[in-house]
Structure 1
Amino acid sequence: MAKTTGRITDTKLKNAKPQEGEYTISVGDGLQLRVLPNGTKSWRTTYTSPETGKRAKLSLGTYPALSFSKAKQLNFEHRQLLAEGIDPRTKKAQEKEQQKALTEHTFINIASEWFKLKKTQVTQNYADDIWRSLERNIFPTLAQTPISQITAPMVIELLRPIEAKGSLETIKRLSQRMNEIMGYAVNAGIIHANPLTNIKAVFQRPEKKHMKAITPQELPELMQAIANANIKKTTRCLLEWQLHTITRPAEASNARWDELDLENEVWVIPAERMKKRKEHRVPLTPQMLDILEVIKPISGHREFIFPSDKDPKKPCNSQTANAALKRMGYGGRLVSHGMRSIASTTLNEQGFDYDVIETCLAHVDKNQVRSAYNRTDYLERRRKVMCWWSEHIEKASRGSYSVTGTVNIKLVV
């Protein structure tokens, strides 16, 4: 119940005593001082909301921290907003959101939220590469910038020096990642639109480069080069393992002993290590099992099949095979990922089923509807294909070049 005591002065407000129940002192123009039983005094303004037409109340602050004169000034400003048809409560909420956008919705904070989701969709190595690229090229300039203030010209200016260096592939990746972050901010309701849409159109396009690979007819030459190369046995086994299993460099180099189901002769690569985040089963051929026997004395007591030389508790680097190929004279001709191309071309030329070959390569069907209904991984059909491929490699090794030690195998013509 309001209590009015004539002309209100600062002294009267200070001397107002608490009572058993809450009461208010009306100052005028809707400004009131609430006095609580515990002695707390707080300002509020009462008004009719222009949005709802109902009576509304808005807290202003406690007294005497918010002085009498300051409270009257705030109340006057609110009356001015009401005269313009603006609800002071709505205005206050908007200002709070704006302040939050400046302090909490910085680019690095939103990028961090986006990255938490992104890293669940890609391999750990790729996730690390994404974050490093942002740390190196974007965060030094834009980390603390409110995401709502980021514009296309701002980002273009930031990326121009990278373009000038000729790092066009880096520009492409950064543009894509920046767009994903801004798209996340739009979907999260933090900003209304993505200002970086199609930003890559203002930069030179990188030339599309296919993974360097030799022809299937050059496989015997490769097997001879691997046999004669001055490389460690671990690296030699890794090269042949990747060639036989048709896996990607990181999938092969990070292989673990506990991923092997030797009873059923299957290598099960968990989803988190696969590019498409889908578990992949590789049928183990006799030649693959022979490679494991060769490497077992070196790493059988360890976690990783192909351990690092520097730290055997860790796997060898995914670039180990590439470095070996360069030393063998294949620089510019073949990269380790290109060995998958040799297998793909050979198997397709032999007329094996396309779907089975694609599953051997751990490719995901781009037709989402078809993929949703086709859940099989053709394991037993792939076992026959993989056995043929391993035998083909063995034949190409001319008998004495493979680490498996197979001899007297004829060449495939």
Structure 2
Amino acid sequence: MPQNELTDKFCQSAKATSGRKVDYFDTLVKGLVLRVSAGGTKSWYLVYGPPAKRQWLKLGSYPEIPLGGDRGARQRARDARAKVGDGGDPVADKKSLAVSQTVADLVENYVKRHASTKRSGDEIARRLRKNVSGRDADGKKLEDCSAGCIGEVKLSELHRRDITKAIDAVRDRGAHVEANRLFEDVRAMIRWARGRGDLDQNLVEGMRKPTETVERDRVLSVDEIRTMWGALADADMRESTRRVIRLCLVTAQRVGEVCGITVDELDLDAALWTIPPSRSKNKREHAVPLSPMAVKIIRDQLADVKALAERKGRAMPAFVLPGPGARAPVTGAAIAKAIKRDEVMKRGTATILGVEPWTSHDLRRSAATHMEELGISPFIIAHVLNHVSATKASITSRVYARYDYMREKREALELWADRLAGIVKGGAGVAPFGSMDAA
């Protein structure tokens, strides 16, 4: 029973030197133990009670739960010991909670305490509620929940086969990408719960994602863009949805970032849209110069939003592209559904708006590809796309180089918008840089 004044350095290097596991007792907080398994797994425990009735309370996993800090292992051990001193029994309390808690409770706890801090938090919450818990945020049963929902299963009885059931139900309806994303969400949730001590086992360890997906490389050709853009006006979807689709192609930005545009992110007089770090995928502020085409789309949308607000007698919403009720922006999932609803089958061939099926992200890829065909540098296109892997690849570019390439980004997006206008009208549009240089 080794005893040490535990430190971060010691915890990082601690190993099981003999047998299946070794327990290292802290000398600063009585009863705090770092248990190290032969496989290298490290867990925190609090040991309390007389030798004949020794109790082991799992506090969480290391390094998910650090040694120090307000929510670290030492503070958790002190809090638990205080309950014991008041006559409580933390182990019995934990068992009682595990018996009462369901998977639906875990989902809501995870969404509230962890997923909500992520940029994609709304999508994670939607997937977990629809496909795992089957309950909304108020605990009411969802009408469109998956057949594999396991929300009623008690955490104390949760098994790997339950997780498999939930994911298989999504895969079996042909939603392979959704199944893979759900698996990632569930894996993150289970690991989070184990790290906190809500679950004693990592139930997803060794499980593989349900479907091997091939990276998409769909790029709409000039003719396809012309056909799609022309058919968009008569598509069975809201006008705001049409504008999201157009903006994705014109600005080359992600559909979620387009959907969430707020009024205060825009300076239309300066033709600039600034995406804050909280909404950017890479958590970096991203300035998007707006071409005249993009500005017109946004101004038309704002005019419609203002007119509707006046008719309804309510304040102008903060969102440029509000969803139903104007309490939140339209979501990328709603745009994907609207696009998918337009898919038709004719003689065994599927089309969306008259061309081979496509997604909103394919529009971003198409814009980038056509900009490159215009002779725009891939480095500048990476700045337009806000791809940090390309623009901040070195320590020099990450730390020292602070030039924002605003002029080059504006030139690229305006050149692309001019080319797009030519495509839509059926003309030649704008010649590539190389052609102009040759002339």
Following the alignment from structure 1 to structure 2, what is the Cα–Cα distance between the partners of residues 91 and 112?
Answer: 30
Aligned to 1:90: 54
Change (3 A) 1:175 1:297: closer
TM-score, normalised with respect to structure 1: 0.62
1:362 matched to 2:380: no
Write the deviation string for residues 125-153 of structure 1: whole angstroms up to 9, x where unpaired.
323323323323454243x223xx64435
Greater Cα offset, 259-268 or 107-116: 107-116
Following the alignment from structure 1 to structure 2, what is the Cα–Cα distance between the partners of residues 166 and 296?
Answer: 38
Following the alignment from structure 1 to structure 2, what is the Cα–Cα distance between the partners of residues 356 and 237?
Answer: 25
SS of the aligned residue for 1:182 comes to helix
SS of the aligned residue for 1:200 comes to coil
Change (3 A) 1:128 1:288: same
Following the alignment from structure 1 to structure 2, what is the Cα–Cα distance between the partners of residues 153 and 324?
Answer: 33
Matches within 5 A, 1:305-324: 305-307=320-322, 311=325, 315-316=329-330, 318=332, 319-320=334-335, 322=339
1:396 matched to 2:423: yes
Checking the alignment, whether the CA contact within 8 Å between 1:216 and 1:342 is kept in structure 2 is no
Checking the alignment, whether the CA contact within 8 Å between 1:121 and 1:276 is kept in structure 2 is no
Checking the alignment, whether the CA contact within 8 Å between 1:325 and 1:331 is kept in structure 2 is no
User: How many corresponding residue pairs?
Assistant: 316
SS of the aligned residue for 2:273 comes to strand
Write the deviation string for residues 193-248 of structure 1: whole angstroms up to 9, x where unpaired.
523213126x5x24436275422453333333345667765454443222211122
Change (3 A) 1:162 1:104: same
Following the alignment from structure 1 to structure 2, what is the Cα–Cα distance between the partners of residues 112 and 369?
Answer: 40
One-letter code of the match for 1:114? Y
Aligned to 1:129: 126
Matches within 5 A, 1:368-383: 372-373=398-399, 377-383=404-410
One-letter code of the match for 1:172? N
Deviation at 1:260, TM superposition (A): 0.8
Change (3 A) 1:412 1:141: farther
Deviation at 1:307, TM superposition (A): 4.6
SS of the aligned residue for 2:387 comes to coil
Following the alignment from structure 2 to structure 1, what is the Cα–Cα distance between the partners of residues 256 and 120?
Answer: 9
Matches within 5 A, 1:205-354: 205-208=211-214, 210=216, 213-216=219-222, 218-226=224-232, 234-300=240-306, 302-303=316-317, 304-307=319-322, 311=325, 315-316=329-330, 318=332, 319-320=334-335, 322=339, 326=343, 329-330=353-354, 332-354=356-378
Checking the alignment, whether the CA contact within 8 Å between 1:151 and 1:196 is kept in structure 2 is no
Percent identity of equivalent pairs: 18
Following the alignment from structure 2 to structure 1, what is the Cα–Cα distance between the partners of residues 387 and 280?
Answer: 10
One-letter code of the match for 1:101? K
Change (3 A) 1:277 1:121: farther
**Equivalent in 166, 171, 183 of residue 191 of structure 2:** 183
Following the alignment from structure 1 to structure 2, what is the Cα–Cα distance between the partners of residues 300 and 276?
Answer: 32
Change (3 A) 1:340 1:196: same
Deviation at 1:297, TM superposition (A): 3.3
Change (3 A) 1:236 1:98: closer
Q: CA RMSD in A?
A: 4.0
Following the alignment from structure 1 to structure 2, what is the Cα–Cα distance between the partners of residues 322 and 135?
Answer: 27
Matches within 5 A, 1:92-131: 96-105=89-98, 106=101, 108=103, 109-115=105-111, 116-131=113-128
Write the deviation string for residues 320-355 of structure 1: whole angstroms up to 9, x where unpaired.
462686486346422232111111211233443333
Greater Cα offset, 295-304 or 341-350: 295-304
Change (3 A) 1:271 1:192: same
Greater Cα offset, 389-398 or 186-195: 186-195
SS of the aligned residue for 1:345 comes to helix
Change (3 A) 1:88 1:380: farther
Change (3 A) 1:276 1:326: farther
Checking the alignment, whether the CA contact within 8 Å between 2:115 and 2:125 is kept in structure 1 is no
Following the alignment from structure 1 to structure 2, what is the Cα–Cα distance between the partners of residues 141 and 368?
Answer: 47
SS of the aligned residue for 1:305 comes to coil
Following the alignment from structure 1 to structure 2, what is the Cα–Cα distance between the partners of residues 284 and 160?
Answer: 43
SS of the aligned residue for 2:208 comes to helix
Checking the alignment, whether the CA contact within 8 Å between 2:150 and 2:162 is kept in structure 1 is no
Following the alignment from structure 2 to structure 1, what is the Cα–Cα distance between the partners of residues 234 and 167?
Answer: 45
Checking the alignment, whether the CA contact within 8 Å between 1:266 and 1:282 is kept in structure 2 is yes
4+ residue segments displaced more than 6 Å: 92-95, 366-369
Following the alignment from structure 1 to structure 2, what is the Cα–Cα distance between the partners of residues 337 and 397?
Answer: 20
Following the alignment from structure 1 to structure 2, what is the Cα–Cα distance between the partners of residues 278 and 90?
Answer: 50
Deviation at 1:393, TM superposition (A): 0.9
Aligned to 1:46: none
Checking the alignment, whether the CA contact within 8 Å between 1:306 and 1:315 is kept in structure 2 is yes
Matches within 5 A, 1:9-24: none
Greater Cα offset, 364-373 or 130-139: 364-373
One-letter code of the match for 2:191? G
Aligned to 2:206: 198
One-letter code of the match for 1:135? S
Structure 1 gaps of 5+ residues are 1-50, 52-84, 400-407
One-letter code of the match for 2:202? N
Change (3 A) 1:378 1:165: same
**Equivalent in 383, 408, 414 of residue 387 of structure 1:** 414
